Amino acid sequence: MKNRILIFLMVLFSGLAACPPPAADGSTSEENQTKPSEPFDPLTGFLPVELYYGRSLLNQEEKQAYDFILKAFLTEPVTDEQKSAAHITVRLKENGFSLTEAQIVKIFDFLSKDDPRMALLTSSVLPRRSDNIGDTYDPSGTAIADEAWFDNAFKGMALGTFWETFHKPQTAEMETRIQPILDTVDEKMTTAQKVRTLHDAFLATVTYGTTNSRGDGNLRGAFLNPLTAPEAEIRYVVCQGYAVSFQYLLMRCGIPAITVPGTALSTPGDPDTKGSHAWNKVCIDGDWYLVDPTHDDSLMWNSPTCRYDYFLKADSSVPTHEEGVLPDGSKTGYPVFPETAKNDFPLNQTVWIGDSQ
């Protein structure tokens, strides 16, 4: 059974556009950082697995389980049993996996960080030792997980109702905002030029704020119409919303990117006030660079302009940002983050002047 799963996953992900590995090991080439040749379905479409940084930190069996769980999330419920269920059930043991409950929690954590769509689909995981209702999650996490239950984003709602009433229409609405931003990218651009183009186009559509009420820390905040002003051109998001939305745009163009949580200056130019923050790291030609779209957004509300003070920087150039550590000293994010290049990426090499180049 396990071999059949592996063969299925190999077929599933074959034919997708190749992308560089997340590690900055110099083993990638720019021509591999392209969009998939087939139209991407944001509801059920698989991004190339090479774009998932957390997946690269797993062992081989964990990677296979990661792919298997991802497939479960991106598969529309079609049977009456699936539609009436209140959670996605992933049967691990019967499909050949022998992973502990702690490993399943780790895989879910990485998957949630790797793909910004997950926040729209699920909010929690419950690994189970068996289908016996009395066998609840063992906090030690050492037991082998028989299966895992994943709540949908609206706990208690039937999956069929969630998919048809919320997920499909919201995804379609978001695409009306996402696709025009993606369309600003010309395939003749270098990767760095694509990153700048997406950076500028995205920041023209958002501003900092918490009045959206549809998810200012996820994709909904950036790409759904505000409930209070559905005709508004500008969406309100906080730093997490900036980071995960920019990450998703980059990944849709085949460019590896992650969201980095940590501590940073609350306001650019303020040397004293620090707080929780989120920004990005982006891979270009095998090297990673820091981008902070929140701090690069214009200081003027509702302005289409942006800055490049935190664009494609080396970590050493941004000492104000401390990745993976919250203000109280607790750890957050991935257990390890990719190191950036030693030097900033040359800003003049990010300018696109069209076919005259």
- N-to-C CA span, the chain: 53
Other beta carbons within 10 Å of 78: 10
3-state helix, strand, coil in the chain (%, to 5): 35, 15, 45
pLDDT of residue 256: 98
* Contact criterion met (CB below 8 Å) for 193 and 185: no
Instruction: Return the SS3 of 99.
Output: coil
Query: Which amino acid is present at 229?
Result: A
Tokens representing 230?
């559905």
pLDDT at 351: 95
Q: What local confidence, expressed as pLDDT, does residue 133 receive?
A: 56
Strands (DSSP E) along the chain, which ranges? 87-91, 122-128, 147-152, 206-208, 235-237, 257-265, 274-284, 287-291, 322-323
What pLDDT was estimated at residue 26?
Answer: 33
Q: How many residues does the chain have?
A: 357
Burial of 340 (0-12, 13-18, 19+ CB in 10 A): buried
**10-residue averages of pLDDT along the chain (357 residues):** 42 35 36 52 94 97 96 94 89 93 92 94 71 64 86 78 92 95 96 97 89 79 80 84 97 98 77 86 97 86 80 96 93 96 97 74
Model confidence over 200-237: pLDDT tens digits? 999 999 988 876 666 888 999 999 887 777 677 788 89
Partnered with residue 51 across adjacent β-strands are: none
Instruction: Give the H/E segment covering residue 2.
Output: helix 2-13
pLDDT attached to residue 22: 40
Q: How much is the pLDDT for 344?
A: 98
| 30 DSSP 8-state letter | G
What digits encode the pLDDT tens for the residues 257-291? 999 999 997 665 666 778 999 999 999 999 999 99
- Tokens linked to 282: 């982006």
- Domains detected in the chain: 2-161 (no CATH), 184-356 (3.10.620)
Provide the 3-class DSSP secondary structure of residue 222.
helix
Tell me the two tokens of residue 267.
Answer: 């306001």
